[in-house]
Chain A
Amino acid sequence: MTASMVMDPHPSVLHMDEKVHKGVELVMDHRYRNIPVVDDNGRYQGVFGVNCLLRMVLPKAVLVERGLTTVPFVADTLHDLYVRLKAVEDEPITYCMSYDASVVAPDTPLVETLLILYRTRTSVPVVDPESGLLVGMISYWDVYGKILEQQI
């Protein structure tokens, strides 16, 4: 058993030239954790997901590596967060996408795939290692659906 057997071969995707608001709509409408981002040729580039959504509305200073570990004194309101989101919603999707998300190959063994899924706690793109093409996406639900099917 390999990753290709539990993946969704037709996932929603975002393109590099699409705007942040498009990504926000997709995530919110479908409750996606991660949406793969591809170039014009369908080659995998990275992911846009719930982490990006949070990152865009948090003050930049709290996200700086080795920076503040807690900020209980900050009293920003929902409106402040909305203002931050509006300020970047017309930026290209590349503004906030992650380039270093974990991926698996179509022939990654099933248990290895599950372990990556378990450790990353999000959906995992399936990428052909030779062509770099996105060939699918694996979510908890895809995998668990396949597992439960075995009962029948």
Chain B
Amino acid sequence: MHHSANTMTVFGWDPIWFAGVLFILTYLIILSDRINRAIVALMSASLMIVGGVLTQEAALRGVDFNTLGLLTGMMVIVAITRRTGVFQFLAVWSAKKVNADPWGILVTLVLVTAILSAILDNVTTVLLIAPVTLLIADALRITPYPFLFAEIFASNVGGAATLIGDPPNIMIGSAVDLSFNDFLFNLGPPALIILLVILIPFYLIWGRKLNANPEDRQRVLNYNEREAITDPRLLWQSFFVLTLVLIGFIAGHNHGLMPASVAMSGAALLLLLDNLPRKADDQSRSVHATFAEVEWVTIFFFLGLFIIVHGVESTGLLTMFADHILQWTGGDTLITAMAILWGSAIASALVDNIPFVAASIPLIKSMAATFGGPEGLMPLWWSLALGSCLGGNGSLIGASANVIVAGFAERSGHPISFLGFMLGAFPLMLLSILISSIYIYLRYLS
């Protein structure tokens, strides 16, 4: 327990009560979606300091700058890379590789989405793949729904496979000092299994019915994917930097290189390569435009959230809550892991998984003594990562990627209903969690 809190908060309130009530209120307001989540998080973080729960120094100690640096660095890299048209190239190229057969397109788009979501981030991936999907479905004169549904799943499953694929993994990796390889070797296998298994229900539900006439397929085959590449020079530069960054993630951990340093170094290098040929004025405009594409709402949301959770943690409230959970699970690793896996999956399907994971991390950390030290917590961390990432598939609001795809679908005249999606997605999400449970049990607990 880090008792960095002052003994009394403003008005003489007990810090535990003050921080606890503020924490619950914050999460309720975030849940209500009435006020922008970054504003809520920053307001509550300010109240943690102004109210006397944390000093400014203590609040800053709670901020995980590795997570913020990793997120920001990758956002800059993606913002530059997306301008090359490589995402559109990959989508069209993969559609043509399967001769514009609708089921083949669904499978290849699932793979492309999953891979890109694993090595970049799933929000950017769907932001760039979904519009091409709509275009292809329009050309084939078939409904885009199965493709969009499958892409949502693929983005969340792919994102679960790596350290950088999904924000919960970034947070867990940073808090527990897990490397890119740790995530790849521990979560890559279940993600791949789930991706392949999930194609079976996709085929049974839609695969057999997806048909397009030869004339419409020819329209897609006439697409010239090479034309999608708008800046070949920048494409090679981006490819070069992304390769370096991936090498940095894979090899850097053993040399003390943190993921944020790798991502920020990559971002700086790509900014340099992109701007070197430009004049000074153009450079300012270009750098400004790139920075404008960083999702500052997400970054400030994280910043506030880290302070709020640190505030609550510093009062000892989360340790008390963890003790209750351990009493309930009897300190049994299997029961605790399953409770975390299924609990985080259900919670992530219904609410934003980022605040959930932010609160869960100190909770699980405080269980270390019960499970024989940090090593004994590993099954719990993998359970939290799988549950929070895959749980996002359970509903249309379960993950940011889902919301983005739903927005595209609606704006293109093919709305995805909340209930309709959930009826199909929730059971499939449960299937993915069942596979994860078997994996966790067989690999870590049997």
Contact = CB atoms under 8 A, between A and B. Distances in A.
Interface of A: 59-62, 64-68, 70-76, 80
Contacts of A73: 88-89, 92, 223-228
Contact of B413 (A60, A74, A75): A60
B115 to A, nearest CB: 20
Contacts of A65: 411
Nearest to A72: B227
A46 B161 CA distance: 50
Nearest to B223: A73
Interface residues of B, number: 26
26 contacts: A59-B139, A61-B134, A61-B137, A62-B135, A64-B412, A65-B411, A66-B127, A66-B408, A67-B131, A67-B134, A67-B408, A68-B88, A68-B131, A68-B135, A72-B224, A72-B228, A73-B88, A73-B92, A73-B223, A73-B224, A73-B226, A73-B227, A73-B228, A74-B223, A75-B222, A76-B219
B138 interface: yes
A75 B92 CA distance: 12
Interface string B201-229: 00000000000000000010011111110
Given A68-B131, A68-B135, A73-B92, A60 B412 contact: yes
Contact of B131 (A64, A72, A75, A76): A64
Contact of A74 (B135, B137, B226): B135
Across the A-B interface, the 6 shortest Cβ-Cβ residue pairs: A61-B134, A67-B131, A61-B135, A72-B227, A75-B222, A73-B228
A60 B224 contact: no
Given A64-B131, A65-B411, A68-B135, A75 B223 contact: yes
A76 B88 CA distance: 16
Contacts of B230: 70, 72
A64 B219 CA distance: 20
Contact of B138 (A59, A70, A72): A59
A64 B411 contact: yes
Contacts of B224: 72-73, 75
A73 B139 CA distance: 13
Given A61-B131, A65-B411, A68-B135, 15 more contacts: A59-B139, A60-B134, A60-B412, A60-B413, A61-B132, A61-B137, A62-B131, A64-B411, A66-B127, A67-B131, A67-B408, A71-B135, A73-B224, A73-B226, A74-B135
B371 to A, nearest CB: 45
Contacts of A80: 219
A72 B230 CA distance: 8
Interface string B84-127: 01001100100000000000000000000000000000000001
A67 B135 CA distance: 10
B1 to A, nearest CB: 46
A66 B135 CA distance: 14
Most chain B CB within a 10 A radius of its CB, from A61, A64, A70, A75? A61
A79 to B, nearest CB: 11
A64 B130 CA distance: 11
A70 B85 CA distance: 9
Given A68-B135, A70-B230, A73-B228, A61 B85 contact: no
Contacts of B223: 73-75
Nearest to B87: A68
B109 to A, nearest CB: 14
A19 B272 CA distance: 55
